[in-house]
Every structure is written in C-alpha cells, then in structure tokens.
Amino acid sequence: MNVRYPFGKGQRPHTLTQVALQRKPRWHEVAIQGFLFFCGALSILTTIGIVLILGKESWLFFRSPEVSLREFLGTTKWQPAIGQFGIWSLVNATMMTTLFATLVAVPLGLCTAVYLSEYASDRVRSWLKPVLELLAGIPTVVYGYFALTFMTPLLRAIFGRDVVDIYNTASAGIVMGILILPLITSMAEDALSAVPHSLREASYALGATRLETAVTIVLPAALSGIAAAIILAVSRAVGETMIVAIAAGSGPAFTFNPFKAAETMTGHIVRISGGDLSYNSMDYNSLFAIGLALFLITLTLNIIGRWFVQRFREVYE
C-alpha cells in the first residue's frame, strides 16, 4: 500500500499557528538587557576603582618610614602632623555614635514595624509609612544642627551643663538613630508582611493573642529580614558624616564618656580635607588610610549580615 505525504516524507506542515509561535527578535528587549548589563558592570567597575584608589593612596601612607602598622592599630592618639598615628581614637568615637544610634533606632524601628504590620489598618498604614520615610529625605546637615541646637541643650538640661559638653557623641548618636529609623522600620515591616498569614491563623487557632503571635511567631519567622535591616542601618550610621562633623566634636579624643567631645572617622576626614593639604603629604595620605579602615569596617558588617541572613532565612511554600 502506497502512502502519499502531501508535504513530503519527514516534513511537518507549517500552519499559521506554528508560524506565529516562532521566536522573533525583540530588539527593544535586547537593548534593555544590554543597558541593564552596562549599569551592573559600571557599578562593579566603580567599586573596584574606589578600592584601588584607597589601596594605592593608603600604601603611600603605610610606606612612609614614620608610620608603622603596629602603631596604627595599637595606639590611641591620632595626630599625623606630629607623628602620632593611633587610629583607635577615631574608631572609638565612630563606634560610640553608632552604638547610640542603634540603641535608639532598633527598638523604635521594630516596634513601629510590628505596629504597621500587625495592628495598623490599611488607612493608617497608607499615610504613616510615607510620613516615616520622609525622615530619610531630610538633609543630614539639618540633622546635625538639630542635634547641636535641640538635642545637646536637652541633654544638658537633664544631666547638667557641667556634665555634658556642647559637642558630644551622645547627641550626635541619638539624632543619627532618628536618621536611620525609617530604614529599619521600612525594611523590617516588609519582612514581617512577607510572613505567610497561615502562620498567624494557626497561632490564633491555638488561642494565642495578637501580641503573642507577633512576638513568638511573626518576629522569629522574619528574623533574617530584620537582621538585614539592622546591619544595613548600622553600616549607614558608621558612614554618616555631617551629623558627627557638626555635633560630635572636632578633635580626636579616646574617651568612653558619651557626653565629651570626640571626633569620628568621617568627621575627621571632612575637617582635614577642608583645609589646604598638599598632595602626597602625611595628612593627605592619612585620609585614605582612614577611608580604607572605614571601608573594611563596613565590609565586615555586610559580610556578617549576609551570613546571618543565609543562616536564619526561612523559606515558605
């Protein structure tokens, strides 16, 4: 029996549906993909360039016979003009202001995030969250003068004018906490809202109250996202410049008294770079050494935060 194939043996008929399903070049998608790749590559190259510049200029600082890495990491007096290179006076002030900012922002931010996620109505959330995020749009120089003209007089009225200096790390740290508050609140609220409602419903079914559900069920389930928000906010506080430059102090001082003046790493960079510095001088090269140390601190915080997120991340189906 002979079988005739109208399209030829081994050939498939090309219908209109098959022609329509054929892949067609979409040049606008190719252009968008190329532009996105260019943006990603540019950001990576920019980061590499910054690291190379920091490393190159810092090497000029540490190569000087007047500087030793042991003195840089082991002493507490920083006066490059007279040959003192102890970075810990600047690091200590930076950590103190960051600690105060964390103590202010984390409790307030988490409480606000829990309220927005578990208690607030859609109407309240629609206007309260944007109002909180407006704090992130205020220039930091305004925060600095707010710390100097409001927070410092308030602390002096509470603890005494003889106890609290006009420039101190406590007022700068507290106002810095207000600065990073929207960051923690927004990211923590997103993490809490991402927790499946089935967990809440199961908790309610077992007789738990809304507060018990929020504290014992929702918060642990969103721990990785909350930790990422805190680490990111702390990194933001470590690199803050204008608040500490205005309100914390203008001279390196190794002190654990939060009511005394002390200069942070970023504040010192701002103050020194505003003067007349000659290229390749000791003061000029020391700025890059401080910048490299600041970069390593923030990089360490980000690595810890990433590890914490990967370690405690919860995946729900």
pLDDT of residue 172: 93
pLDDT for 13 equals 53
pLDDT tens string 152-211: 999 999 998 888 899 999 999 999 999 999 999 988 988 888 888 888 888 888 888 888
Instruction: Please give the average per-residue pLDDT across 78-99, as a whole number.
Output: 88
Over the chain, what is the mean pLDDT?
A: 84
The torsion angle over the Cα atoms of residues 143, 47, 302 and 283, rounded to 10 degrees, is -60
Which DSSP helix (H) or strand (E) runs through 204? helix 197-205
Tokens of 286: 């020391």
Model confidence, pTM: 0.82
pLDDT at 110: 92
Task: Give the per-residue pLDDT at 15.
Answer: 54
The CATH number of domain 74-312, selected from 3.40.50.150, 3.40.50.920, 3.40.50.1400, 1.10.3720.10? 1.10.3720.10
Q: How far is CA 188 from CA 103, 220, 310, in A?
A: 16, 12, 16
When comparing pLDDT for 125 and 149, which is higher? 149
Query: Any idea where the domains of the chain sit in the sequence?
Result: 25-63, 74-312
Give the residue with greater pLDDT, 303 vs 280: 303
Single-letter residue type at 312: F
Percent above pLDDT 70 for the chain: 89
CA-CA distance, 149 to 131, in Å (whole number)?
Answer: 23
Task: State in Å, rounded, how far the first CA of the chain is from the last one.
Answer: 57
Q: Is 231 a residue whose pLDDT tops 60?
A: yes
d(CA 92, CA 104): 19
At 179 the pLDDT is 92
Over 70: is that where the pLDDT of 1 sits? no
